Amino acid sequence: MSSVQGQAIFRDVPEPPPRRVGLGTKVWNSRFDYLYVAPAILVMLIVIAYPIYYTIELSFFNTPASLSLADKKFNGLDNYAAIIQSPVFWKVTWQTVVWTVLSTGFSFVLGLGAALALHREFAGRALLRGLLLIPWVVSAVAASYVWKWLYHSDFGAISAILTAIGIIKEPINFIDNASTSLYSLIVVNVWKEFSFAMIMLMAGLQTVPDTLLRAAQVDGASPWQRFWHVTFPHLQGVSTVTILLLVVQNFNSFIIPFIMTGGGPVGSTQIWITHIYELAFLRQRWGVGAAYAVLLFLIMMTLGYFYVRALTKGDDSRAGA
Amino acid sequence: MTAITESAVTQRRGVGGWRWAGRIFLALLLGFTVMPMIWMVITSLKTGFAAMQYPPQWWPAEPTLGNYWRLLDPNGSVGQDFLHYFWNSLWVSTITTILAVAVAVPAAYAFSRFRFPGRNFLFFAVLLRNMFPAVVFLVPLFILMKLLGLVNTHGSLILTYLTFGLPLAIWLLKGFYDNIPVQLEQAARIDGATRFQAFLLIVMPLSTPGIIATSIYSFIGAWNEYIYAYTFLTRHDQMTLPVGIQRFFSENATDWPGLMAATFLMSIPVVVLFLVLQRYFVRALTEGAVKH
């Protein structure tokens, strides 16, 4: 593109003669561009780069609770070794995986169903969509308190409804019971998140060409066949982004487990994030907490790579203003 | 013509079954979605005694607005605190939103239109921020805020919330700008405008929906945020709503109706804001998410 003569009028800086342009020249040529991104980058640098650096540094130190942070002692990879060898780590990891996979899966499926059902125009559609989005907008704190009340072991409405229908006799202990607590929390998480998936997929559905669907219909395809062979392939891009976003969000979700159960009972709802919090803030084991955090960083970086790749496809065709 | 074609075809193909399945599914989903909120309101209308009954009263025998009056009464201690928290939340959220938009708009535009060395890397870095959980940054950020002298001030929250909101704001706006044809600015350039003038006079007015969507998202995010507010603010009079509410009700016996009333009041601004402006938000989100 830059070899076209007319391009010269679209740059504030005169087009350099076509030859190898060094990095320094490129940077100088784009110097005004950096002004646009400077404020954003500055904020991010201060508030992100320093903490990351400090966390990584801290992970290599031993920080006994009796000493202040300034007296930390270097102990190399000991923190990491301690983590991998501790059974708590594997339990928390498994719970995190269960939490993430089930939350993401159900949120996505519900969101897809809702998106498909809402795809057709009908009276009240915007209102319905708005109502379905309420859980996403409401604060996680509010959601946690309401569901805690709904799940209450003595006065909870859910137990009452189930008893009234006749399914159970006694109120169920949803969140005080180690075997059901994690799954009860997952329900809350899905309640909160599914409409996000719904919105993303609704957008994706709009890119499915209607003509293709109609042609398939005329050719005798059943609704299921139409979905599977026409709609679904078109949704793959949006689905990938949505699932990645959900996975990241769930991996990192803190408020619901923290407020509803605080990681209990008996650590059955402890996921990585709440565990890190407990280690660092409640048990003052900053070094180990930092080591966990670094491991988490690495996982997130990997996911992040795929995420950005999925998002920036097709970007280069838009250059040129 | 399309109406005739569609109804003729669907009658032949018997889509009826799927249509009804969709409707039942939506009804169930709506029930699932709305039920907790309804129960929240119902509980908030009960007195403490009425709430502690099992099986619960599906509708309070003596509905009362007492919980709400208590929270909103500027003369009572509860009301004073609550209103103060409300104001703090409002202040922090508004400032965060204004700053977020001011910073994100030029950055998003640059990422959309310009190609400069490091662009892809910077964009990656900006998006990457989204990946990192809030908790992980708590300790270093706390130390940083101490260094900057911002502990227990709203400034610490605003600065932190900015970084939460920025990646998504930039991503949303970039997607938005991607869908504005470059030809408009090129036409302006041919007519003699500089790049900055083209940005200001042509693109900015067109990006109103994107800016509204970004503002909504920033505001809601800041309003609902809990972890950092909980950690950075220990002084009672600085607290925002999500933290302040906890303070009321975590003692011996939780005052559930009061708690429900407080969470309801806390949720109203964001829900109303969102319902009113939802189409901007949905539009910007979807235009950002989908490549045309």
pLDDT per position as a tens digit, A37-56: 778 777 777 777 777 787 78
| Contact predicate A225/A168, CB 8 Å | no
- Look over chain A and give the mean of its residue pLDDT values, rounded to a whole number: 79
Which chain A residue's Cα is nearest to B115? A319
The pLDDT assigned to A318 comes to 46
CB contact under 8 Å between B186 and A155, yes or no, is: no
CB contact under 8 Å between A300 and B171, yes or no, is: no
CB contact under 8 Å between B143 and A54, yes or no, is: yes
Q: Does A86 touch chain B (CB under 8 A)?
A: no
Optimal mutation site among B58, B136, B137, interface A, most CBs of chain A within 10 A: B136
Confidence at B9, pLDDT banded by 50, 70, 90: very low
B281 compared with A108, residue with greater pLDDT: A108
Which chain B residue's Cα is nearest to A142? B263
The pLDDT assigned to B118 comes to 67
Which chain B residue's Cα is nearest to A293? B136
The pLDDT assigned to A3 comes to 46
B42 compared with B127, residue with greater pLDDT: B42
The pLDDT assigned to A13 comes to 64
CB contact under 8 Å between A47 and B160, yes or no, is: yes
The pLDDT assigned to A37 comes to 75
Is residue A70 in some structural domain? Answer: no
Interface of A with B in 248-267 (CB under 8 A): 248, 251-252, 254-255, 259
Shared-domain flag, residues A94 and A224: yes
Q: Does A12 touch chain B (CB under 8 A)?
A: yes
Chain segment B258-278, per-residue pLDDT in tens:
888 888 988 888 888 888 777
Chain segment B45-70, per-residue pLDDT in tens:
888 777 787 777 788 878 888 888 88
User: Has residue A194 got a pLDDT over 90?
Assistant: yes
Is residue A102 in some structural domain? Answer: yes
Superfamily in which the B71-289 domain is placed by CATH: MetI-like (1.10.3720.10)
Is residue A300 in some structural domain? Answer: no
Shared-domain flag, residues A202 and A269: yes
Burial label, A52 (beta-carbon count in 10 A; 0-12, 13-18, 19+)? middle
B134 compared with A293, residue with greater pLDDT: A293
Mean pLDDT of B77-104: 88
Strands A73-74, A61-62: parallel, antiparallel or unpaired by DSSP?
Answer: antiparallel
Shared-domain flag, residues A91 and A32: no
Q: Which residues pair with A61 in a beta bridge?
A: A74
Which chain A residue's Cα is nearest to B21? A117
CB contact under 8 Å between A12 and B194, yes or no, is: yes
Which runs of consecutive H residues, i.e. helices, occur in B66-76?
66-72
Q: Does A147 touch chain B (CB under 8 A)?
A: yes
Chain segment A214-250, per-residue pLDDT in tens:
888 888 888 778 788 888 888 888 888 888 888 888 8
Is residue A81 in some structural domain? Answer: no
A16 compared with B53, residue with greater pLDDT: B53
Which runs of consecutive H residues, i.e. helices, occur in chain B?
2-13, 16-44, 48-51, 66-72, 77-113, 119-128, 138-148, 154-178, 182-190, 195-198, 204-206, 208-224, 227-232, 241-249, 256-289
User: Has residue A287 got a pLDDT over 70?
Assistant: yes
Weakest mean pLDDT among A103-107, B23-27, B244-248: B244-248
- Look over chain B and give the mean of its residue pLDDT values, rounded to a whole number: 78
* Nearest residue, CB atoms, A203 vs list B55, B159, B286: B286
Which chain B residue's Cα is nearest to A53? B140
* Nearest residue, CB atoms, A141 vs list B106, B131, B242: B242
Is residue A307 in some structural domain? Answer: no
Shared-domain flag, residues A27 and A136: no
User: Has residue B129 got a pLDDT over 70?
Assistant: no
Which chain A residue's Cα is nearest to B259? A145
B125 compared with A8, residue with greater pLDDT: B125
pTM of the predicted model, to two decimals?
0.78
Domain ranges of chain B: 2-44, 71-289
CB contact under 8 Å between A117 and B26, yes or no, is: yes
Mean pLDDT of A205-217: 82
| Contact predicate A307/A241, CB 8 Å | yes
Mean pLDDT of B227-251: 79
Shared-domain flag, residues A37 and A105: no
Residue A224's domain is classified under what CATH number?
1.10.3720.10
Chain A hits for B190, CB-CB cut-off 8 Å, are 9
Confidence at A107, pLDDT banded by 50, 70, 90: very high
Shared-domain flag, residues A128 and A257: yes
Which chain A residue's Cα is nearest to B230? A255
Token output for B288: 């950002």
Chain B hits for A200, CB-CB cut-off 8 Å, are 285-286, 289
The pLDDT assigned to A188 comes to 93
Shared-domain flag, residues A29 and A112: no
Q: Does A46 touch chain B (CB under 8 A)?
A: yes
Chain B hits for A137, CB-CB cut-off 8 Å, are 220, 270-271, 274
User: What is the domain count for chain A?
Assistant: 2
User: Has residue A291 got a pLDDT over 60?
Assistant: yes
CB contact under 8 Å between A276 and B291, yes or no, is: no
B207 compared with B224, residue with greater pLDDT: B224
Domain coverage including residue A91:
86-144+178-284
